[in-house]
């Protein structure tokens, strides 16, 4: 269960512990800001393995997921292998990713995200399937992949509504923890040193509820999301994303350079070009 190891190290990709009815899963690649790999032996699969174990354990009433070190997750692990090439390849890759994320909602036990530091891209899509999010005051949320031709805002409709989902997807703007709370993305913002304890305290309160009632109330709310189009929206998102991602070689930065060419250069050069128009937050710009 969750025994997958990071490449070149004996460290497990995730850590798993149980205390007072709450299982805590910790993404455990802090030196690289906990990027989420996919497929066999990946961090995503390790997370799912731990979630299934928690769901089957009668001693567990709630799950908390957080990140080791200074960040929750930087998003998808771009170093974990050659990316898909064709639209069909992308479709099946994204479908597999979504199947893993959807398993979070299919659990009987609620999942709370304790979000520290950055939460970008694939991590945003994963936490959109959590039941509640608590953020540290230094947390930042964003669909930063949209700055270089990526997509993936479909699940956010149900958390923050279409207007804010569009804002995040069409600008790549990063949201502070305070702004995330203002728009309903997170439940509460706390100091970094209090984050895990606050999330685990909420987990203990949930675990103390009548178990079957808690499970059925959660399923009732999730069923309402399904009826209102949750799964249809995500299926459409997978198809749109597959088409867009398969055209990556045609995507160009604001200065006309192809992103596929920029990515062949060193990381700092690529990042500088990608982020140049966005160094100042829109929220801080003059009206």
Q: Per-residue pLDDT tens for 37-89?
A: 988 889 999 999 999 999 999 999 999 999 999 999 999 887 766 678 788 88
Number of domains in the chain: 2
Contacts of 124 (CB under 8 A, 6+ apart): 75, 141, 142, 143, 152, 156
Query: Do both 257 and 240 map to the same domain?
Result: no
**Measured on CA atoms in the order 274, 70, 204, 42, is the torsion positive or negative?**
positive
Query: Do both 35 and 151 map to the same domain?
Result: yes
Q: Is residue 6 part of a domain?
A: no
**Rounded Cα distance, 145 and 123, in Å:** 11
Domain with residue 36: its CATH number is 3.90.226.10
Q: Is residue 111 part of a domain?
A: yes
Query: Do both 66 and 197 map to the same domain?
Result: yes
Q: Residue 262: is its pLDDT beyond 90?
A: no
For 266, the domain range is 252-284
Query: Do both 142 and 206 map to the same domain?
Result: yes
Q: What is the DSSP annotation of 171-195?
A: H-PPEEHHHHHHTTS-SEEE-GGGH
User: What mean pLDDT, rounded, does the chain reach?
Assistant: 90
The two tokens of residue 236 are 């459409």
- pLDDT tens, position by position, 150-165: 777 888 988 899 999 9
Of 25, 77, 66, the closest CA to residue 48 belongs to: 25
Q: Is residue 69 part of a domain?
A: yes
Whole-model pTM above 0.85?
yes
Query: Do both 55 and 188 map to the same domain?
Result: yes
- pLDDT tens, position by position, 212-237: 999 999 999 999 988 888 888 888 88
The answer to whether 36 and 123 have CB atoms below 8 angstroms apart is: yes
Q: Residue 147: is its pLDDT beyond 90?
A: no
């Amino acid at each position: 269960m969750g025994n997958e190891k990071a490449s070149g190290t004996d460290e497990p990709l995730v850590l798993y512990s149980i205390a007072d009815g709450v299982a805590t899963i910790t993404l455990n690649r802090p030196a690289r800001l906990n990027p989420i790999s996919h497929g066999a032996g990946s961090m995503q699969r390790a997370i799912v393995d731990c979630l299934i174990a928690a769901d089957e354990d009668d001693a567990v009433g709630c799950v908390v997921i957080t990140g080791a070190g200074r960040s929750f997750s930087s998003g998808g692990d771009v170093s974990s292998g050659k990316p898909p090439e064709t639209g069909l390849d992308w479709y099946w890759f994204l479908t597999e990713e979504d199947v893993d994320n959807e398993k979070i909602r299919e659990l009987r036990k609620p999942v709370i995200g304790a979000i520290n530091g950055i939460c970008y891209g694939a991590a945003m899509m994963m936490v959109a399937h959590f039941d509640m999010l608590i953020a540290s005051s230094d947390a930042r949320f964003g669909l930063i992949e949209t700055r270089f031709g990526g997509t993936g805002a479909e699940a956010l409709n149900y958390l923050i509504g279409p207007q804010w989902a569009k804002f995040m997807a069409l600008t790549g703007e990063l949201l502070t923890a305070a702004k995330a709370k203002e728009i309903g993305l997170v439940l509460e913002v706390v100091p970094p040193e209090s984050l895990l304890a606050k999330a685990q305290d909420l987990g203990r309160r949930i675990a103390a509820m009548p178990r079957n009632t808690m499970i059925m109330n959660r399923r009732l709310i999730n069923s309402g999301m399904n009826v209102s189009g949750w799964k249809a929206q995500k299926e459409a998102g997978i198809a749109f994303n597959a088409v867009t991602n398969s055209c990556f070689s045609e995507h160009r930065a604001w200065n006309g350079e192809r992103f596929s060419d920029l990515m062949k250069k060193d990381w700092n050069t690529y990042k500088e070009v990608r982020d140049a128009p966005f160094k100042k937050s829109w929220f801080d710009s003059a009206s």
